[in-house]
Amino acid sequence: MSLTVRLATPLRAAAGGNATLTFDAADLATLTREITARYPELAARVLRDGEFGRFVNVFVDGEDVRFLSADADLSGKRTVEILPAMSGGAVAPLPEPSTRREHEVFGSFIDETIGIVARQTRDTVSFAVGSPSREALDLVGADDLSAAVLHREGASALGYGITEGEPELREVVAAGARTRGLDADVGDVLISAGALQAIDLACRVYLRPGDVVVAESPGFANALSAFRNHGATVLEVPVDGEGLDVGEASRLIRRRAARPRIFFVVPNFQNPSGETLSLARRESLLALAASYDAIVVEDDPYGLLRYRGANLPSLASLGSRVDVVSIGTFSKTFLPGLRVGWVIAAPEVIRRMAKVKQTMDSSTGTLAQRIVLEFHRRGGVDAHIGRLRELYRTKQERARSALAREFAGTGVTWNDPEGGFYFWVRLPTGVDARTLLDVALEEGVAFVPGEAFAIGRDHSNAFRFSISAPTPDRIDEGVRRLRRAFDRVA
Query: Cα–Cα distance between 223 and 113 in angstroms, integer?
Result: 17
Q: Are 416 and 309 in contact (CB under 8 A)?
A: no
Average pLDDT, the chain: 92
pLDDT 10s digits, 1-14? 578 898 888 788 88
pLDDT 10s digits, 415-447? 999 999 999 999 999 999 999 999 999 999 999
What pLDDT score was predicted for residue 340? 98
What pLDDT score was predicted for residue 71? 76
Q: Which of 13-22, 261-270, 286-295, 412-421 has the lowest mean pLDDT?
A: 13-22
Q: Which of 80-89, 202-211, 342-351, 383-392 has the lowest mean pLDDT?
A: 80-89
Q: What is the mean pLDDT of the segment spanning 138-154?
A: 96
Q: How confident is residue 136, by pLDDT bands cut at 50, 70 and 90?
A: very high
What pLDDT score was predicted for residue 87? 40
What pLDDT score was predicted for residue 86? 46
What pLDDT score was predicted for residue 465? 98
Packing angle, helices 279-291 and 246-255, rounded to 10: 20
Residues 6+ apart with CB under 8 A from 140: 334, 335, 375, 384
Q: What is the mean pLDDT of the segment spanning 102-114?
A: 75
Query: Cα–Cα distance between 206 and 362 in angstroms, integer?
Result: 20
Domains of the chain from N-terminus onward: 2-107 (3.10.20.30), 125-137+383-489 (3.90.1150.10), 139-380 (3.40.640.10)
Q: Is the pLDDT of residue 85 over 70?
A: no
What pLDDT score was predicted for residue 102? 65
**Helix intervals (H) in 230-295:** 246-255, 279-291
Q: Is the pLDDT of residue 96 over 70?
A: no
What pLDDT score was predicted for residue 101? 58
Q: What is the mean pLDDT of the segment spanning 83-111?
A: 60
pLDDT 10s digits, 219-250? 999 999 999 999 999 999 999 999 999 999 99
> Which span out of 17-31, 116-130, 252-266 was modeled with the highest average pLDDT?
252-266
Q: Is the pLDDT of residue 90 over 60?
A: no
Q: How confident is residue 100, by pLDDT bands cut at 50, 70 and 90?
A: low
Q: Is the pLDDT of residue 343 over 50?
A: yes
Q: Which of 106-110, 111-115, 127-131, 266-270 has the lowest mean pLDDT?
A: 111-115
What pLDDT score was predicted for residue 307? 98
pTM over 0.75: yes
pLDDT 10s digits, 304-328? 999 999 999 999 999 778 999 999 9
pLDDT 10s digits, 369-398? 999 999 999 999 999 999 999 999 999 999
Phi and psi torsions of 409, nearest 5°: 75, 5
Q: What is the mean pLDDT of the segment spanning 168-181?
A: 96
What pLDDT score was predicted for residue 253? 97
Query: Cα–Cα distance between 312 and 266 in angstroms, integer?
Result: 13
Q: Which DSSP string do the residues of 35-48 spell out, in sequence order?
A: HHHH-HHHHHHHEE
What pLDDT score was predicted for residue 111? 75
Q: What is the mean pLDDT of the segment spanning 57-86?
A: 80
Q: Is the pLDDT of residue 89 over 50?
A: no
pLDDT 10s digits, 454-469? 999 999 999 999 999 9
What pLDDT score was predicted for residue 338? 96
Q: What is the mean pLDDT of the segment spanning 149-158?
A: 96
Half-sphere exposure (Cβ direction) of 270: Cα atoms closer than 13 Å: 28
Q: Is the pLDDT of residue 94 over 60?
A: no
Q: Is the pLDDT of residue 44 over 80?
A: yes
Q: Which carries the bigger pLDDT value, residue 415 or residue 89?
A: 415
What pLDDT score was predicted for residue 231? 95
